[in-house]
Structure 1
Amino acid sequence: MNAIIGIVVVLGSVIGGYVLSHGQLIVLVQPYEFLTIGGAAFGAFFISAPMSTAIDVLKHIPQIFTAKEDSKAFYLELLSLMYELFQLARRSGAVALDAHVNRPADSEVFRRYASVSKNKTVLNFICDNLKIVIAGNIEQHHYEAIMDTDISTRKHHDNMPAASVSKIADSLPGLGIVAAVLGIVITMGDINQPPEVLGKHIAAALVGTFLGVLLCYGFVGPMGSLLEHQAAAKQARLKVVKSALMGYSIGLAPILAVEYARRAIPSNVQPSMEELEEGMKKGG
């Protein structure tokens, strides 16, 4: 929703200021400039990115408009799930987790926490790293290193769409200049035409530069930044899970393990200790 609001504000401010300054909107309608800049940017993107990355970027585009920020409720549900799993392991041994982590879709525990279960990245991270605990003793620093490697690999993958979109944004002003130069070439070819004809050609050329800069700083660049924020949010979720698992692995009581994880939650959505205790009561 924020992206849609931002686009409306950018367009309203730029076009509104132009019209209020007695500019003619029809002059800005230059479809061939759009074709030159947009087509060249799209082609350059496919040159610079392997097909897997290109497909991943296209999959992320809808998230710019539909993705929601993590809420306090999500993190409360995540911590409550971790607490219940730790409690189960404490009562019946780590082996009792085997059926749950191997078939989370059939687990009554995971079913109670729908928001977490729907997030496949978080769900897989929890299950994969609990399987290591079930498999046998592992030194804490090795366990932490395994999770760090997992998070680092996912971070690299999650950041690729944002980096690709940012590179597209960086190319747009230059492509706008290309469109403008082509417009000047056309103008020079009609140098014997009357001033009103030359004026239209020059205006069209300048619109190319305008579009390149506007698309870069008003739309595509901010979209790349938004994808970066979304990638950082994914990493934050995994770091919270990692903190809980590390607390459990060093022998902390379940309540202390999830409290350890609570401290890793971003401050704007971090629940209080009282909210966490209430959430665990509801979850259990």
Structure 2
Amino acid sequence: MIGVIGIVIIFVMVFGGYTLAGGKMSIILHSLPFEMIMIGGAALGAFVLSNDFASIKATMGGVVRSFKGPKWKHGDYRDMLCLLFELIRVARSSPVALELHIEAPQDSSIFGKYPQIQKDKEAVALICDTLRSGTMNYDDPHQVEEVLEKRMEATQHHNQHATHALQSIADGLPALGIVAAVLGVIKTMGAIDQPPEILGKMIGGALVGTFLGVFLAYGLVGPIAARLKTVLEDDAHFYNLIREVLVANLHAHAPNICIEVGRQNIPGHARPDFNEVEEALKTLKQDAA
């Protein structure tokens, strides 16, 4: 919603200010379809040329995601802490029982309590792979932490492909606007024998290309790319939480301490308070009794 409000402000301020200054929208509206075909079409073609199908699909999804905001909310962080607490307790009491959950998380009664997390393949895989490494005696906390760090860096780098693709479009749009403007000037020079009022409109139409390229780059596509980058970085904290808790578990801290370590590493806007987490864990303990 906030993204839509931003777009409305951009259009109202730019075109409202232009109109209040005495500018005529008729010249822009007359040239806009043709300039948009050239600039937008060239940008789309360059985008398709420089990306594979998976990247194109991810970028389209990324645009939608930039407006929807971060995937993981306050309640999801609390649920993740509860999920990890249950899994750690099972791992400490019965490693054999733990295998039933990490080898088939889609059928796990523990994962099933948290459907939003269960649907996220990366989060589930990160949890299961890390806990599985502990059952295989690969339990050096420092080595595991390094492996998890590299894994999450690779995942984040891959997720940022959509951001880079959008930013590349934004970087190229001003130049494509100049291309459209030059074509407009060429068209104008071919009609140099026309009266000044006609030439003036033609030159104005040509300059619409430059305006449109810069406007789209810095007013729309660039900000969307920046917003998407922020959303992806915000969601990455959710996976960092998994790493912090499971590494603390490998250090053999008490389950409650592991959860508190993770809670402290959650960004402030999404961090559940101590009493909220304690109450949730207390409920889990009562249900398990």
- What is aligned with 1:251? 252
- What is aligned with 2:166? 165
Q: Deviations over 1:140-182 (max 9, x none)?
A: 2221122112111101101111011011101111111111111
Q: Deviations over 1:161-205 (max 9, x none)?
A: 101101110111111111111111111111110111111111111
* 1:99 aligned onto 2:90: no
Q: CA shift at 1:134, angstroms? A: 2.2
Q: Deviations over 1:94-134 (max 9, x none)?
A: 33211111211211111112232233221221122222122
1:159 and 1:103 mapped to 2: Cα distance?
30
Q: CA shift at 1:219, angstroms? A: 0.5
For 1:10, give the aligned amino acid.
I
Matched-pair contact (CA < 8 Å) for 2:82–2:281: yes
Matched-pair contact (CA < 8 Å) for 1:95–1:134: no
Q: TM-score, normalised by structure 2?
A: 0.92
For 1:3, give the aligned amino acid.
G
1:282 and 1:120 mapped to 2: Cα distance?
27
Q: Deviations over 1:196-248 (max 9, x none)?
A: 11111111111111111110111000111111112212321111100000000
Within a 5 Å distance, the mapping from 1:8-47 to structure 2 comes to 8-29=8-29, 30-47=32-49
Q: Secondary structure at the match of 2:132?
A: helix
Matched-pair contact (CA < 8 Å) for 2:177–2:210: yes
Report sequence identity in percent. Answer: 37
1:90 and 1:208 mapped to 2: Cα distance?
66
Distance 1:20 1:281, change over 3 A: farther
| Segment drifting more, 169-178 vs 132-141 | 132-141
Runs of 4+ off more than 4 Å: none
Q: Which runs of 5+ in 1 are unaligned?
A: none
Q: TM-score, normalised by structure 1?
A: 0.94
| Segment drifting more, 200-209 vs 107-116 | 107-116
- What is aligned with 1:219? 220
1:137 and 1:194 mapped to 2: Cα distance?
82
Distance 1:275 1:207, change over 3 A: same
Q: Which runs of 5+ in 2 are unaligned?
A: none
For 2:219, give the aligned amino acid.
G
After superposition, the CA RMSD in angstroms is 1.6
2:219 and 2:157 mapped to 1: Cα distance?
26
2:188 and 2:61 mapped to 1: Cα distance?
41
- What is aligned with 1:61? 63
1:224 and 1:281 mapped to 2: Cα distance?
42
For 1:132, give the aligned amino acid.
S
